[in-house]
């Protein structure tokens, strides 16, 4: 049975909402090559490991209770892929704090796979809350990752591309993703790569952060208000979006995973399987770093990226009320209906 990447079946703390109360239970896979010390019960159970023994990455995948088929597809075709020989890492699926009855099937699923965490994020269109809670889970889990990958559950990651490229250009304060160049510049929330320094910085300011319904817009504000400098690595050509290209990626084209680090809108098990097969065949050939580098181009104009906090806040004030920032801890609902609030992903 596969329990995460290189798992040893060590227990982790998962927070599940049961009848309005949090039920704390140790769940989930462990990780290889790390000497476990004390379990510290904080927001989640933190396990202290050797400072010199770091996983390359932690992949966290926000999902929804009813997305079991997507999670199964990811486990079969991505999370057990031959690509993983290039990396030491772990993954977890992240669910919102849904009512206990909504999590019943997910709890059974977790007893089998041990790879689901439940955050404190409210369900529905509250993506900034979800992103903030997900990053906090990563840092407080005690998994000693070098960088954090946060991904929708319909994204296929080209692990070898990610591994080879990040080992060359990765650093604690680097933030990579697909950029929106207009209206203040931000990286789309569906596929984010961040160095450990950024994750820890966000958690250190957890109670001071500002939120709106959209995580990518809030993340830009978190970056602008940080005392640290984030090193952006935006690219429109290293990430494949069906809603941009208007068609699925051509999986018959060899070395798709040399050109793209992630493919979005992989909604069917068949599509996921085709990408996994393409990645497996590509892994038999040498990785073309020059070709990959050419895909990672910064195509947003520098003045957009160099915006100030006040300029960014002014842009948001001129947009929809859903772009207005409030303190995350204020639990603002932005006038969203109950249907939107409980809609899940």
> For residue 315, how many C-alpha atoms fall within 13 Å in the half-sphere facing its CB?
16
Q: Is 86's pLDDT higher than 50? A: yes
Residue 29 structure tokens:
């896979």
User: Does 285 reside within a domain?
Assistant: yes
User: Does 343 reside within a domain?
Assistant: no
Q: What pLDDT sits at residue 88?
A: 79
Q: Is 6's pLDDT higher than 70? A: no
User: Does 264 reside within a domain?
Assistant: yes
Question: The domain that contains 162 carries what CATH number?
Answer: 3.90.550.10
Q: What pLDDT sits at residue 195?
A: 94
Cβ–Cβ under 8 Å, residues 149 and 192: yes
Q: What pLDDT sits at residue 83?
A: 67
Label the pairing between strands 89-95 and 116-118.
Answer: parallel
Distance CA 190, CA 283 (A): 25
Give the helix/strand (H/E) hosting 331.
none
Q: Is 53's pLDDT higher than 80? A: no
Cβ–Cβ under 8 Å, residues 160 and 82: no
Q: What pLDDT sits at residue 29?
A: 42
Residue 51 structure tokens:
């400072």
Q: Is 236's pLDDT higher than 60? A: yes
Per-residue confidence band for 256, with pLDDT thresholds at 50, 70 and 90? very high
Give the closest residue to 166 by CA, choosing from 157, 176, 153.
176
Label the pairing between strands 21-27 and 12-18.
Answer: antiparallel
104 vs 299, residue with greater confidence = 104
Give the closest residue to 101 by CA, choosing from 137, 66, 63, 134.
66
User: Does 12 reside within a domain?
Assistant: no
- For residue 61, what are the domain limits? 51-328
Label the pairing between strands 145-151 and 191-195.
Answer: antiparallel
Average pLDDT of the chain to the nearest whole number: 79
25 vs 226, residue with greater confidence = 226
Per-residue confidence band for 125, with pLDDT thresholds at 50, 70 and 90? confident
User: Does 139 reside within a domain?
Assistant: yes
Q: CA separation (Å) from 300 to 13, 186, 306?
A: 41, 10, 11
Q: What pLDDT sits at residue 131?
A: 96
Q: Of how many residues is the chain composed?
A: 345
Mean pLDDT for 177-206 is: 91
Give the closest residue to 180 by CA, choosing from 304, 78, 283, 74.
304
Distance CA 165, CA 193 (A): 12
Distance CA 56, CA 196 (A): 10
Which residues are registered as beta bridge partners of 151? 191
Q: What pLDDT sits at residue 313?
A: 92
Instruction: Estimate the share of the chain in helix, then strand, then coil, as percent rounded to the nearest 5.
Output: 35, 20, 40
Give the helix/strand (H/E) hosting 326.
strand 326-327
Per-residue confidence band for 183, with pLDDT thresholds at 50, 70 and 90? low
Give the global pTM: 0.82
Q: What pLDDT sits at residue 298?
A: 76
User: Does 340 reside within a domain?
Assistant: no
Per-residue confidence band for 41, with pLDDT thresholds at 50, 70 and 90? very low
Report how many domains make up the chain.
1
**Per-residue pLDDT tens for 281-337?**
888 888 898 988 888 887 777 666 678 899 999 999 998 888 899 999 987 888 775
Q: Is 24's pLDDT higher than 50? A: no
Question: CA geometry: angle at 231 spanning 229 and 237, to 5°?
Answer: 155
Q: What pLDDT sits at residue 99?
A: 86
- DSSP-derived secondary structure for 106-129: HHHHHHHH--EEE-SPPSSS-HHH
Mean pLDDT for 110-124 is: 90
User: Does 41 reside within a domain?
Assistant: no
- 262-263: strand order across its sheet: 156-157, 262-263, 239-240
Q: What pLDDT sits at residue 303?
A: 62
Give the helix/strand (H/E) hosting 66.
none
Which residues are registered as beta bridge partners of 13? 26
User: Does 40 reside within a domain?
Assistant: no
């Amino acid at each position: 049975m596969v329990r995460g990447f290189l798992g040893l079946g060590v227990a982790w703390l998962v927070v599940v909402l049961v009848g309005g109360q949090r039920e704390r239970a140790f769940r989930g896979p462990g990780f290889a090559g790390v000497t476990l010390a004390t379990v510290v019960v904080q927001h989640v159970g933190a396990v202290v490991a050797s400072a010199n023994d770091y996983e390359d990455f932690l992949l966290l995948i926000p999902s929804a209770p009813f997305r079991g088929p997507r999670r199964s597809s990811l486990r079969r075709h991505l999370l057990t892929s031959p690509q993983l020989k290039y990396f030491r890492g772990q993954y977890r699926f992240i669910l919102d704090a849904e009512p206990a009855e909504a999590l019943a099937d997910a709890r059974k699923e977790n007893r089998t796979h041990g790879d689901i965490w439940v955050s404190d994020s409210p369900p529905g269109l509250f993506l900034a809350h979800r992103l903030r809670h997900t990053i906090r889970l990563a840092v407080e889990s005690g998994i000693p990752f070098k960088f954090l990958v946060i991904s929708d559950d319909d994204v296929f990651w080209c692990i070898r591309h990610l591994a080879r490229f990040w080992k060359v250009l990765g650093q604690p304060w680097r933030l990579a993703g697909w950029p929106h160049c207009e209206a203040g510049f931000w990286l789309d929330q569906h596929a984010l790569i961040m160095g450990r320094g950024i994750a820890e910085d966000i958690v250190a300011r957890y109670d001071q952060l500002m939120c709106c319904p959209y995580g990518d817009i809030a993340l830009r504000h978190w970056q602008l208000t940080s005392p640290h400098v984030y090193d952006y690595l935006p690219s429109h050509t290293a990430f494949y979006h069906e809603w941009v290209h208007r068609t699925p990626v051509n999986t018959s084209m060899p070395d798709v995973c040399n050109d793209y680090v992630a493919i979005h809108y992989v909604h069917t098990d068949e599509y996921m399987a085709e990408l996994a097969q393409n990645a497996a065949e590509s892994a038999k050939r040498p990785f073309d770093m020059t070709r990959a580098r050419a895909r990672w181009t910064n195509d947003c104009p520098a003045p957009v990226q160099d915006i100030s906090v006040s300029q960014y806040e002014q842009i948001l004030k001129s947009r929809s009320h859903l772009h207005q920032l409030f303190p995350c801890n204020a639990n603002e609902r932005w006038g969203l209906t109950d249907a939107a609030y409980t809609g899940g992903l």
